[in-house]
């Protein structure tokens, strides 16, 4: 076993999640590389020191530049707003340091493309943080599809629905300003990533965006509340993707339905330890969706618990992500999803925006 020094830029919601994951992953998965929390950086030295004390970092830095340059930091986790991702990752790659970057990859398609070029030119391990698709149930769904368990796919529907801005009197915040911070920039990447992972490339989209609550206490909203997207996959399959921050009652409605010629699959992240499978076999009177509770037989479950049905949680998907990142660093071979996979999501997002503006079907390849 070999220690690896981890530096995390950002100590808030996702910074904490990554700190906890890096502290736990070695014990859970017995990884070859054992992370050490060498340094944290935030928007001030005072907040960095608070995160240092709270999460157990060895050092606190006043800015990301100091953290990336720190020789004790051997790999960098970026958990800051997307408009900072390009500069931090390019600096890390220039020093040969692997990068795990939170989604979305960047605040613009131009920056996302530049980050991919920097990553691939440096030949350094890179990964983007789409954690939900790593839940054992979703990994099992991918396996079932690849094995042909539900036959030829005929339809896909993916969603990410939350209600943190569902009420008209929810106050204006940074999430209400700029397209990169709206529903399309913030939430839609997750169901798009699920669609790409489960179904393959998206060929074209026809989209509509809407700002339902145009004014909030404290300001005028300049981005979208929800997005409805018809899509056609490169395989020829039809689909639909919906994302919303105003879906009243939904807290983590990352979900998908997939229909095939021999069955169907349903999943909902609010019940992330269950996969619903329909198989068109046997007595018609006994057919129906079957609830499969995840257990040691499913991908990446057993290291957490030997008991089926006990379940994994949100932070466990971040620990699985950390395990994959460390394995990529140890072997020098990238593991999905890389920055290029993050760019694929960004290109679909851009095509959705263009389609909503033009009112026409838009080719993702033309983006």
* CATH number of the domain bearing residue 72: 3.40.50.720
* DSSP for residue 172: P
The crossing angle, in degrees rounded to 10, of helices 109-122 and 339-358 is 160
Domain that holds residue 180: 133-308+345-358
> Does residue 328 lie in a domain region?
no
Mark whether 47 and 92 lie in a shared domain: yes
> Does residue 325 lie in a domain region?
no
> Does residue 324 lie in a domain region?
no
Mark whether 195 and 224 lie in a shared domain: yes
Q: Phi-psi category of 242—alpha, beta or left, where left has phi over 0 and alpha has psi -120 to 50? A: beta
Mark whether 199 and 122 lie in a shared domain: no
- Report yes or no: 291 and 285 within 8 Å, Cβ to Cβ: no
Mark whether 284 and 146 lie in a shared domain: yes
At 233, which CATH number?
Answer: 3.30.360.10
Mark whether 28 and 112 lie in a shared domain: yes
Mark whether 178 and 206 lie in a shared domain: yes
pLDDT attached to residue 120 = 97
Helices (H) and strands (E) in the chain, counts: 10, 17
For 146, phi and psi rounded to 5 degrees? -65, -35
CA distance 105 to 339: 7
> Does residue 91 lie in a domain region?
yes
Q: Is residue 4 helix, strand or coil?
A: strand
Mark whether 139 and 103 lie in a shared domain: no
Q: Tell me the per-residue pLDDT of 292-350, one tens digit each, with 9 for 90 and over.
A: 999 999 999 999 999 999 999 999 999 999 999 999 999 999 999 999 999 999 999 99
> Does residue 313 lie in a domain region?
no
Beta-sheet pairing, 215-216 with 202-210: unpaired
Mark whether 264 and 298 lie in a shared domain: yes
> Does residue 329 lie in a domain region?
no
Mark whether 99 and 120 lie in a shared domain: yes
- Please identify every stretch of the chain with a pLDDT value under 50, giving residue numbers as ranges: none
Question: Measured between alpha carbons, how far apart are the two ends of the chain, in Å?
Answer: 44
Domain total for the chain?
Answer: 2
CA distance 60 to 66: 9
Mark whether 97 and 144 lie in a shared domain: no
pLDDT attached to residue 1 = 75
Mark whether 149 and 292 lie in a shared domain: yes
> Does residue 366 lie in a domain region?
no
Mark whether 99 and 166 lie in a shared domain: no
> Does residue 181 lie in a domain region?
yes
Can the peptide bond before residue 104 be classed as cis, meaning omega within 30 degrees of 0?
A: yes
Cα 324 to Cα 12, 142, 160, 297, 339, distances in angstroms: 22, 17, 24, 19, 14
CA distance 248 to 166: 6
């Amino acid at each position: 076993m070999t220690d690896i020094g981890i530096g995390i830029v950002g100590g808030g919601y996702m910074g904490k999640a990554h700190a906890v994951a890096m502290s736990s992953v070695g014990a859970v998965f017995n990884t070859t590389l054992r992370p050490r929390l060498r340094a944290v950086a935030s928007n001030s030295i005072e907040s960095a020191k608070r995160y240092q004390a709270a999460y157990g970092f060895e050092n606190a830095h006043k800015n990301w530049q100091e953290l990336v340059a720190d020789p004790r930091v051997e790999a960098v986790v970026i958990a800051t707003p997307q408009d900072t991702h390009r500069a931090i990752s390019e600096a890390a790659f220039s020093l040969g340091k692997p990068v795990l970057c939170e989604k979305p990859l960047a605040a613009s398609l131009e920056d996302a493309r530049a980050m991919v070029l920097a990553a691939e030119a440096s030949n350094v391990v890179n990964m983007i943080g789409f954690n939900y698709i790593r839940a054992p149930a979703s990994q099992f769904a991918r396996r079932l599809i690849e094995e042909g368990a539900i036959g030829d796919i005929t339809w896909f529907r993916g969603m990410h629905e939350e209600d943190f801005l569902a009420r008209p009197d929810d106050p204006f915040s940074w999430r209400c300003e700029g397209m990169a911070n709206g529903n399309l920039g913030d939430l839609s990447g997750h169901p798009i990533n699920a669609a790409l992972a489960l179904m393959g490339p998206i060929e074209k989209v026809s989209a509509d965006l809407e700002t339902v609550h145009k004014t909030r206490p404290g300001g005028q909203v300049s981005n979208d509340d929800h997005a409805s997207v018809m899509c056609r996959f490169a395989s020829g399959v039809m689909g639909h993707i919906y994302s919303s921050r105003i879906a009243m009652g939904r807290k983590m409605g990352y979900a998908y339905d997939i229909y095939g010629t021999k069955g169907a699959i349903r999943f909902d992240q609010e019940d992330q330890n269950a996969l619903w499978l329909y198989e068109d076999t046997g007595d018609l009177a006994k057919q129906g969706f079957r609830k499969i509770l995840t257990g040691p037989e499913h991908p990446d479950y057993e290291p957490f618990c030997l008991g089926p049905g006990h379940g994994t949680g949100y932070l466990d998907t971040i620990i699985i992500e950390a395990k994959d990142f460390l394995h990529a660093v140890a072997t020098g071979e990238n593991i999905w999803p890389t920055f290029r996979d993050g760019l694929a999501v960004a290109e679909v997002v851009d095509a959705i925006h263009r389609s909503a503006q033009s009112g026409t079907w838009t080719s993702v390849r033309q983006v």
